[in-house]
Amino acid sequence: MLDSTTAPQIFDEEFGTHYAAFAAALLVSDIPAAVLAAARENLFDTLACAIAGSSAHGVDTVRDLVEGWGGRPEAGILCSSIRVPAHHAAWVNGMMSHARDYDDTHDAAVLHAGVSIIPAALAAAQLAPAASGADLLAGIVAGLELICRLGVSTRISIIESGLMYTSLFGYFGATAAAARVMGLDAAQTANALGIAYSQAAGTHQVTRDGASTKRMQPGFAAKAALLSVQMSLRGVQGVVRTFEGIDGLFRSYLDNRVDTGRLRQGLGQSYEMLDLSYKPYPCCRFNHPAIEAALAIRRHPGFDPARVRSAVVHLTHDAYQAVCTPEDIRHAPRTIVQAQFSIPYTVACALLDGEVALRHFTEEGIRNPDVLALAARIDGRVDAAIDQEWSRNISPAIVTVDTELGRFEHRIDYPKGHPKSRMTAADFDAKLAGCMAASGLAWPADLPRRLHAAIDGLHAAPDANTLIGLLTL
C-alpha cells in the first residue's frame, strides 16, 4: 500500500495530454528571454560534445552500421557527409553527443537533457523542410523542459530504481521536441508520447559494467522519438494514459514515487531547464565536486603531488554507488567508460596533472601508470551528514589528502558549471576548441564564430537546417 508520501495526486487530465497541449502551442514569442538563452546554450554545448564524440570509441562502428543499412537520405549524421533515415541520424548523433560524458546535467534531477532532445529536434527539422529556426528553438524548449520536469519530480534515485533517467525520460522529452518541430497538434503529440512509452528503457547497469551501450542509450531515445512522431502522423494508436495510467510510467517504472503536483506546477511560467549545469570535465557529474576539491588542494602552496600517501572522498550513498563501486574497477578502470565513472581515477588525474581533460579518457590515457598507482590509494566513503542533506542530488564532496608533509582537506558543494557557479562564455569557447581538436577533423578556423551566429539568430532563421549544415561535411 502507498503511504501519504508516495501516493500521487489525482488529476482529471492525464499528464501526457496536459503537456502535449503546452508543447504543441509553444511559440518562441511566448518563451521568456532567459529560457531561450538557456536553450541556445544547451544547443551550443550539445553540438560541441557531438563534435568531440565523433571520434569516440564505438561511434564509428554504429555510424558504419547505419551507413551500410542505407535507406532514404532524410537527415545528416553530424561531422560527416552521411545522410540516412532520420531516426538513424538521431540515434548516431545522440550517441556522439553523449560518448565523451561531457554533456549537460541537471544536478537535482541527476540526468543529461540535451543528448536526446537536440539530436531528435535536429533530425525532425530535416524531416520537415518547412520548419523554421523558431520551430527548432520551441521544440528544444519543449523537450528540455519535459525531461527536466520528469527528473526533478521523481523521488526514487537511479541507484534504487536501477534506471538511467537520461534515457528513460529522454524518450518523452525527445518525442515532445520532435513533435513540436514537425508541427504536430496536441492530440498527435499526446499520441506520440504514448507510442514512445512502448519503447522506453534505460538501465543503470551500463555504468556498473562500463558498457559501451551506456553512450548509446540517449541515442536510442532520440531514435524512438522520430519513430513515434512519424507513426503518430500516420494514425498509429499509442497508449492514452502514458504516465498516470494503472500501468503507466509512474507506477510501472517509478513505484509511483513521483510528485505529480510539482510536475505540473507553473508550466509555462517557471522552467526547470534553467537549472541545467554544464561540464568543464569530460566524466560523470558525480565526480566533479571531488575533482574541484582536489584541484583546490593541488593549488595549495604547501602541496606536493609526488608526496601523496592516500586520499578519501566523502560523498552521498548514491554518488558512492555510481562512481566508487565496484571498488576494484574504480581503482583500476580498464575501459574508458569505467574511467569516466571513477572517483579514484579522476581525483588522481586532478592531483597529479592539475586538470581532468579529454586526453585522460583515451585508451592510452587510462593506462598511465602514475595515475593508476595513485588511484589505487584513493577511496570513497559515504558521509552520513551529506547523504541526509543532499539525498539523490549530485553530491557535494569533501576530499582529504594525506601526504608526507601533512593533511589537506577541501569541500565543494556546487561544482563549476552549476547555475550557482556558471561557466563563462570563454569557458564554453575553450570547451568547443578542445572538442574540435579531439574530433581529429579539419574544421574551418571560423567555425566557432559561425556557430555562435547561427544559434544566436536561430529565432529569426526561416530554415532550421542552415545551422545543421555547419556541422555536416
276 in a structural domain? yes
DSSP bridge partners of 308: 403
Phi and psi at 101, nearest 5°, equal: 50, 40
425 in a structural domain? no
437: how many CB neighbours lie within 10 A of its CB?
Answer: 14
- Are residues 247 and 309 located together in one domain of the fold? no
Residues 6+ apart with CB under 8 A from 342: 287, 323, 324, 329, 330, 331, 333, 375
pLDDT at 473 (0 to 100): 84
363 in a structural domain? yes
pLDDT at 7 (0 to 100): 56
456 in a structural domain? no
Output the CA torsion 409→412→417→418 (10° steps). 180
Lookup result for grid cell 540516412: 84
Give SS3 for 284: coil
Lookup result for grid cell 560523498: 315
CATH number for the domain spanning 381: value is 3.30.1330.120
d(CA 420, CA 173) in angstroms, rounded, equals 25
DSSP bridge partners of 314: 381, 398
- Are residues 195 and 310 located together in one domain of the fold? no
- Are residues 77 and 223 located together in one domain of the fold? yes
Instruction: Please name which of 191, 145, 137, 136 lies closest in space to residue 169, comparing C-alpha atoms.
Output: 145
d(CA 211, CA 199) in angstroms, rounded, equals 20
d(CA 387, CA 456) in angstroms, rounded, equals 40
383 in a structural domain? yes
Instruction: Please name which of 170, 173, 89 lies closest in space to residue 124, comparing C-alpha atoms.
Output: 89
- Are residues 191 and 325 located together in one domain of the fold? no
Question: How many domains, in total, are found in the chain?
Answer: 2
d(CA 326, CA 111) in angstroms, rounded, equals 21
35 in a structural domain? yes
CATH number for the domain spanning 30: value is 1.10.4100.10
312 in a structural domain? yes
d(CA 44, CA 390) in angstroms, rounded, equals 30
Residues 282 and 340 sit within 8 Å (Cβ to Cβ): yes
267 in a structural domain? yes
- Are residues 273 and 315 located together in one domain of the fold? no
Residues 6+ apart with CB under 8 A from 265: none
- Are residues 252 and 372 located together in one domain of the fold? no
| Residue 330 CA: distances (Å) to CA of 151, 324, 363 | 27, 6, 16
- Are residues 369 and 387 located together in one domain of the fold? yes
Q: Residue 356 corresponds to which amino acid?
A: V
- pLDDT tens per residue across span 192-220: 999 999 999 999 999 988 899 999 999 99
- Are residues 258 and 292 located together in one domain of the fold? no
- pLDDT tens per residue across span 176-192: 999 999 999 999 999 99
d(CA 255, CA 157) in angstroms, rounded, equals 11
pLDDT at 393 (0 to 100): 80
CA angle 126, 73, 41 (to 5 degrees): 35
Reading the chain (473 residues) residue by residue, the pLDDT tens digits are: 234 345 567 787 999 999 999 999 999 999 999 999 999 999 999 999 999 999 999 999 999 999 999 999 999 999 999 999 999 999 999 999 999 999 999 999 999 999 999 999 999 999 998 999 999 999 999 999 999 999 999 999 999 999 999 999 999 999 999 999 999 999 999 999 999 999 999 999 999 888 999 999 999 999 999 999 999 999 999 999 999 999 999 999 999 999 999 999 999 999 999 999 999 999 999 999 999 999 999 999 999 999 999 999 999 999 999 999 999 999 999 999 999 999 999 999 999 999 999 999 999 999 999 999 999 999 999 999 999 998 778 879 999 999 999 999 999 999 999 999 999 999 999 999 999 999 999 999 999 999 999 999 999 999 988 899 999 88
- Are residues 39 and 175 located together in one domain of the fold? yes
- pLDDT tens per residue across span 252-284: 999 999 999 999 999 999 999 999 999 999 999
Give the domain range for residue 212: 15-280+463-469
Lookup result for grid cell 520536469: 149
Buried b (16+ CB within 10 A) or exposed e, 342-361: bbbbbbbbbbbbeebebbbb
pLDDT at 392 (0 to 100): 76
What grid cell was written down for 14? Answer: 492525464
Instruction: Please name which of 200, 202, 160 lies closest in space to residue 322, comparing C-alpha atoms.
Output: 160
Please tell me what DSSP assigns to residue 151. Answer: H
Residues 6+ apart with CB under 8 A from 295: 350, 354, 355
Q: Tell how strand 308-315 and strand 397-403 pair up.
A: antiparallel
Kindly report the length of the chain: 473
Lookup result for grid cell 541520424: 89
- Are residues 68 and 94 located together in one domain of the fold? yes
| Residue 318 CA: distances (Å) to CA of 117, 159, 454 | 26, 6, 40
- Are residues 253 and 350 located together in one domain of the fold? no
- Are residues 306 and 383 located together in one domain of the fold? yes
